[in-house]
Amino acid sequence: MPNPPFRVKVRWTEDIKVENLERYKERDNDHLYLIIRRRKFIGIPARKIFYIGMAYKQSVVDRLGEHHKLPKILANELRRGKGIIRIGQIILPRRKRMNIQIVRDVESALIFDHQPEYNEMSISSYRGRPIAIINKGKCKPLRKRIRSIDWERRKT
């Protein structure tokens, strides 16, 4: 019998304009971020995820400041809409402690499920533990519920 999935919730912030990110610099309990385009023109999706990333033992703002892809994404995609960031905090079950592997598994599962254009890792496969993620807060265009078992079923 397969292992039961590791269950987590991710609470997402409202849209944050890139120029307002500095306000979030002191938050150190955030683990994930989305780089999204909010549409400017009718005929393109209202919101499109371009990149999903993680920060561990550093703020998301610091991580984005050293990120080599952020300027490229903004330069290539802003002409068709506004660049926004959403920050996600992983909420663990009781008696579980945050560690780098949990953050990596959640990031990898989100990437594999949503296939963002600028992510390169975790696009073709998910190699983490069996996982179930519930996205809370302002999570669209992410799916509310993501389960790795669903990917196994798709293969067959």
Pair 52, 114: CB distance under 8 Å:
yes
Quick: pLDDT tens for 72-98.
787 776 666 678 899 999 999 999 999
Closest CA to 65 of 78, 52, 55: 55
Quick: pLDDT tens for 108-147.
999 999 999 999 999 998 989 999 999 999 998 999 999 9
Residue identified by tokens 């959403």 is 86
pTM of structure:
0.88
Closest CA to 111 of 53, 58, 59: 53
Please count the CA atoms within 13 angstroms of the CA of 139 that sit on its side-chain side.
19
